[in-house]
Structure 1
Amino acid sequence: MDLFTTIILLSLFIIVLIMKWQYFKHTDKNSPPSPPKLPILGNLHQIGLFPHRSLKSLAEKHGPLMLLHFGNVPVLVVSSADMAEEVMKTHDLVFSNRPPRKMSEILLYDSKDIATSPYGEYWRQIRSLAVLHLLSNKRVQSYGLIREEEAARMVETIKEFASSSFSMPLNLSEIFFGVTNDILCRSALGRRYRGGGEGCKFQELVLEFGDLLGTTSIGDYIPWLSWLNKVDGSYKRASRVAKRLDEFLDQVIAEHVSSGKRKEQEGLTDNVDDFVDVLLSVKNSNAVGFEFDTTTMKAILVDMFTAGTDPTYTVLEWAMAELLKRPAIMHKLQDEVRTVVGNRSNITEQDLVHMNYLKAVMKETLRLHPSLPVLVPRESTKGIKLNGYDIEAGTQVLVNAWAVATDPKCWDQPLEFKPERFLNSSVDFKGRDFQFIPFGAGRRGCPGLQFATALDETVLANLVYHFDWDLPAGSKELDLSKFYGLVLHLKSPLLAIPTPYYE
C-alpha cells in the first residue's frame, strides 16, 4: 500500500471517528427528547417549507420541549404556553441573547440593530432609546394624523378604481403594502417614497431586503458549507442591497440635516418630528449614555422598516382574507364600524376605542396567522435546568408562536376563525398571556406592537366602513395557501371587488 492511499484511508478513519463522537456521543446530561438525526445535517432535513407546521408535528411526537440539531447547533423548540413562559419570563435573562446570523451581519450593520443585536449593554441602550424616543405611547399617538390621512388617501384610491373599473378585482395586497409603506415613510423619514424615481427604488429595496433577511444560510449551522451561499449568490445579493439601502439612508439623513439647519435659521418648527428628526436630536444632544453614531442611527431605521412593513401589511392581508371567506363576520364588523362612525365621512383614532369587535377580529387574525409564526431565535447564555431537562449554554431557542396559539389545551376549536372568543376575554398580545404571543414577550418582545396595531386597525376600519366587498366572479373559495419568507404571506395577491358604501 503506497503512502498516498495510507493517508487517504487514515483520514477517512479519523473523519468517521469524529462523526461518531459528534453525533452519537453519550453524556450524563438529561437532554430534552429528540427525533433521530442525520450526520452533518442533523435535523435540518425535517424542517420543510413551513417550519411552524413541521415543528408542531414533531412536537406532537416528542413534547413541548424538544431538542433538534441544525448541523452541529443544538436548537430547543418550544411549543406550549407553559414552556414559553419559562423561556420568556421565568428565565428570560438566560435566553435573551441572539445567535449570530450572516445575513443579519450583512444587512443590519453587523447586527447593530435592536432585533438581532447580541444581549448586552449596547442592546439595552439602543432598545431604551427606541422605546423612549420613537415608540412611546405619546410618540405613537402623535402619528395618528398621518395614519388617518394615509388611510383617507387609500380610500380615495379605491373609490377611483371602483368608478373606473366596474366589477373588476382590486389587488388588495398591493394596496396594503402601499399604505403601510406610506405611513412608515412619513413617520420615519418625513415624506412618502412612492411612484417613480427614488420612491420606486425604495419600495423595491424594502421588498428585496425582507426576502433576503428571511433566507436561511447553511453556513450559520454548518460553517464549512458556507461556500454554498457564496456560490448561489445570496451573500453578494445581500451586500448589494445593503449598500443601496445605506446610500439611500445617507441621502435621507443629509436632507434632514440640511432642512433642520434651514428651519433653525428661519425659526420654523414642525408639529410632529419624524424618526430621523428625533434620532438626529438625540445624537446632537448626547442625550444617551453611549456613543450614538450615524451607523447606529441607520441600523435602528432599518429595523423600523423591517419590523414595520412586511409583518404589518401581512396582518391586513390575512384579516381581509378571513373576512372575505366569512361574509357573516364581515357584515358584523361593518355594522359595528358604521354604527360607531355614523354619517361622518372620516374615521378618527378616537372611534377605534369603541370598536370592540374590530379589535377582536385583529386579535383572532394575529392568533391564527401570526406574521412570524416562529419567533426570532434566542440563545442561552449559560447552562440551565428547564422543566427537569439540561439545556447547554449556546443552545438556540425557537418559540413556535403558531403552535402555542393553536394548542387545543388553550383554545376551543383552535383552527377556526372565531373573533367572538376575544369579546369576553382579557387575553391580549402584549406579552403577559403566553398562549398568545405574536409579538413575543419579555426583554426581546417587539417594542413596536402599539405602532403596528394602530396602523392595522385604522386601515381595516376604513376598508369595511367605506366599501362592501366581494370575491371575484368564479372564486367560490379563497385560496389561502401560503408562502414562507421573512413573514407568512398569502401565496398569491389578495383580489377583491370593492363597492362604495353610501347611507
Structure 2
Amino acid sequence: MGKRAYGLCKGNSSKLVLVISSAEMAREVLKTHDHVFCNRPLIFAFKKLFRGIAFALYGVDRREMGKICILELFSARRVQSFQSVRVEEVANAVDSSSLSSSCVVDHIFERIAFGTSYKGKEPSGSHKILKVVYEYLFIGVITVTKLFPYVPWIVDLVIRLRPSIKRKFLEVDSLFQQVIEEHRDPNRQRPVHEDIIDVLLQLEIDQQIIKAVLLDILVGGIDASTVTMVWAMEELVKNPRVIKKVQDEIRSCVGNKGKVEESDLRQLHYLKMVLKETLRFHPPAAILIPRESMKHCNINVYDLYPETMVIVNIWAIGRELRSWSKPEEFSPERFMDSSIDYKGHHFEFLPFGSGRRGMTIEDLDMEEAGIFALHKKSGLQLVPIKYDAVFFSEKYSL
C-alpha cells in the first residue's frame, strides 16, 4: 500500500478501511474533511488503556482536555519553564557517560511530569509507571477482537488479551493514584519548579482526567523523543559529510564558551534540518493513530459511509516522489530555506499528524531531541562507520 496514493480495503471484519499514502489525500482527510474524520475507532484497547486525548472519542470532554494541554501544559511559556530540567538531566548524562537516549528521556519526563529524579534514589512510584508505560507499547494496540468482531469471546479465550489489558490498566491506575496522593500531601517537599501534576491539580479537574493526560504525555512523549534521537545518531554515523557540518556549526556557535547551552538551539540551523530530515525519514510512528468518519463523506473517487476507518501512512508520505527529490536519501539540505515544519500545516511532512487530532506535545519532543543531540554532538567525536557494520531497522511500537 506504501506505493499507492490511497486505497480502500476490507479486512477480516465488516469495517471498511481507507489507507492514505499521499500528501494530497492526507490534506483531504486531515484538513478539508477534518471535522468528519476527527473520531477514533471504538477499539477495546484504546478505550481501556488509553483514555486520554489521543485515543478519546471526539466530544466535549476531549475538546476540554485538548484546551488544557495547549493552554496550560505545552504552551511556549510552559515548555520554556522546563528548560533547567532538560539541561540538568542531559548534562548529568553526558558527564557520567550514561548516554542512552531512552534513559535521558525517561529522566526528563519523570521530572517534568512527577517532579522526581532517579539520581541517587531507589526506583520510585513514577519510575514504576515509566516501566509499565513501556509495557503498554507491546500489548497490541489494534486488538484481535476488532478484526474478528463476530467471535471476540473465542479469540479472548485463546489469547486472553482482554484480561491482560485490564491488569495493565489497574496497575498503572494504581501507580498514578499513588503519585497524585503524594502531590496532595501538604507536608510534601515542593520542588523548585512545578511539575505537570502540580499544574493539573491547581486546575481542580477530575483526577481520572489527570491520569489520562499523564498517560498521553508519557506514551507519546517518551517514545517520540527517543525514536527521533536514536535515528538521528544512526543517520549521522552513516553520513560523514553531515557529521562534519553539524560539528562545525556547533563549534562555530559555541566559540570560547566551552560548553553548549539550550539557547544555542535557535542558532543551529543545520542541526534543525538534521532533526527534520530524521522525522521525515524515520517518523516516530509509521502510521498515525487511526481515525473514523462520523458521517457520510465523499473523498476523491470514494463514497464513504459513517464509521469508515482511515489510516494515514506518514512513512510512505515522507517518501513520496511527488513531494520529495530523491526521497530515499538522507539529505538535511532539502530543508534549507524551506518553510516546512512539523506543526501539521505541510501535508508532505506529518511526523506528529495534523488537524483536530494532531499531537500537542511536539514542541516538547523536539526540545528534548534537540538539546540531547546538541550535547551529544559537542561532547563526543562521532566516528563514521560502514553501514553494514551495524544493522538498524524499525520495530513494533506506537
Q: TM-score, normalised by structure 1?
A: 0.75
Q: Deviations over 1:421-440 (max 9, x none)?
A: 11121111111111001110
Q: Deviations over 1:47-74 (max 9, x none)?
A: xxxxxxxx314x2xxxx23111122110
Contact conserved, 1:384 with 1:390, CA < 8 A, in 2? yes
1:482 aligns with 2:394: yes
Q: Distance in 2 between matches of 1:445 and 1:200?
A: 28
Q: Distance in 1 between matches of 2:263 and 2:103?
A: 24
Offset, 1:133: 0.8
Larger radius of gyration: 1
> What residue identity is the alignment partner of 1:398?
I
Q: Against the structure 1 CA distance between its residues 387 and 449, is the aligned structure 2 distance closer, same or farther, given a 3 Å change threshold?
A: same
Q: Distance in 2 between matches of 1:386 and 1:116?
A: 24
Offset, 1:192: 2.2
Equivalent pairs counted in the alignment come to 394
> What residue identity is the alignment partner of 1:201?
K
| 1:415-454 alignment runs, 5 A limit | 415-454=328-367
Structure 1 residue corresponding to 2:107, chosen from 179, 182, 185: 182
Aligned to 1:332: 245
Give the 3-state SS of the residue equivalent to 2:322 in structure 1: coil
Offset, 1:196: 4.5
Q: Distance in 2 between matches of 1:203 and 1:429?
A: 26
Aligned to 1:132: 71
Give the unaligned 5+ runs of structure 1. 1-54, 162-171, 284-291, 487-503
> What residue identity is the alignment partner of 1:403?
A
Following TM superposition, the consecutive aligned residue runs of length 4 or more in structure 1 with deviations greater than 4 angstroms are 193-196, 268-271
Q: Distance in 2 between matches of 1:122 and 1:230?
A: 34
Aligned to 1:311: 224
Q: Distance in 1 between matches of 2:58 and 2:259?
A: 44
Q: Distance in 2 between matches of 1:303 and 1:230?
A: 29
1:92 aligns with 2:34: yes
| 1:61-460 alignment runs, 5 A limit | 64-70=5-11, 71-108=13-50, 111=51, 113-158=52-97, 175-193=100-118, 196-198=122-124, 201-212=128-139, 214-226=140-152, 227-258=154-185, 261-262=186-187, 271-283=192-204, 292-460=205-373
Offset, 1:229: 3.7
Deviates more, 1:185-194 or 1:196-205: 196-205
Deviates more, 1:73-82 or 1:476-485: 476-485
Contact conserved, 1:215 with 1:485, CA < 8 A, in 2? no
Q: Against the structure 1 CA distance between its residues 228 and 196, is the aligned structure 2 distance closer, same or farther, given a 3 Å change threshold?
A: farther
Give the 3-state SS of the residue equivalent to 1:385 in structure 2: strand
Q: Distance in 2 between matches of 1:117 and 1:211?
A: 20
Q: Against the structure 1 CA distance between its residues 77 and 145, is the aligned structure 2 distance closer, same or farther, given a 3 Å change threshold?
A: same
Contact conserved, 1:217 with 1:229, CA < 8 A, in 2? no
Deviates more, 1:248-257 or 1:228-237: 228-237
> What residue identity is the alignment partner of 2:96?
T
Q: Distance in 2 between matches of 1:349 and 1:157?
A: 19
> What residue identity is the alignment partner of 2:359?
C
Contact conserved, 2:238 with 2:387, CA < 8 A, in 1? no
Offset, 1:239: 2.1
Contact conserved, 2:345 with 2:354, CA < 8 A, in 1? yes
Q: Distance in 2 between matches of 1:476 and 1:400?
A: 28
Give the unaligned 5+ runs of structure 2. none
Q: Against the structure 1 CA distance between its residues 317 and 229, is the aligned structure 2 distance closer, same or farther, given a 3 Å change threshold?
A: farther
Q: Against the structure 1 CA distance between its residues 246 and 269, is the aligned structure 2 distance closer, same or farther, given a 3 Å change threshold?
A: closer
Offset, 1:241: 2.1
Q: Deviations over 1:282-335 (max 9, x none)?
A: 01xxxxxxxx31111111111110111112101111110010111221121111
Q: Distance in 2 between matches of 1:94 and 1:134?
A: 27
Q: Distance in 2 between matches of 1:202 and 1:241?
A: 11
Q: Distance in 2 between matches of 1:311 and 1:238?
A: 23
1:470 aligns with 2:383: yes
Give the 3-state SS of the residue equivalent to 1:416 in structure 2: coil
Give the 3-state SS of the residue equivalent to 2:373 in structure 1: helix
| RMSD (Å) for aligned C-alpha atoms | 2.0
Aligned to 1:25: none
Contact conserved, 2:22 with 2:320, CA < 8 A, in 1? yes
> What residue identity is the alignment partner of 1:481?
S
> What residue identity is the alignment partner of 2:22?
S
Q: Against the structure 1 CA distance between its residues 100 and 411, is the aligned structure 2 distance closer, same or farther, given a 3 Å change threshold?
A: same
> What residue identity is the alignment partner of 1:137?
A
Q: Deviations over 1:460-487 (max 9, x none)?
A: 0100000012378x9853312221232x
Q: Distance in 2 between matches of 1:200 and 1:425?
A: 40
Contact conserved, 1:193 with 1:202, CA < 8 A, in 2? no
- Percent of matched pairs sharing the same residue: 35
Offset, 1:157: 1.9
Q: Distance in 1 between matches of 2:162 and 2:103?
A: 28
Contact conserved, 1:176 with 1:316, CA < 8 A, in 2? yes
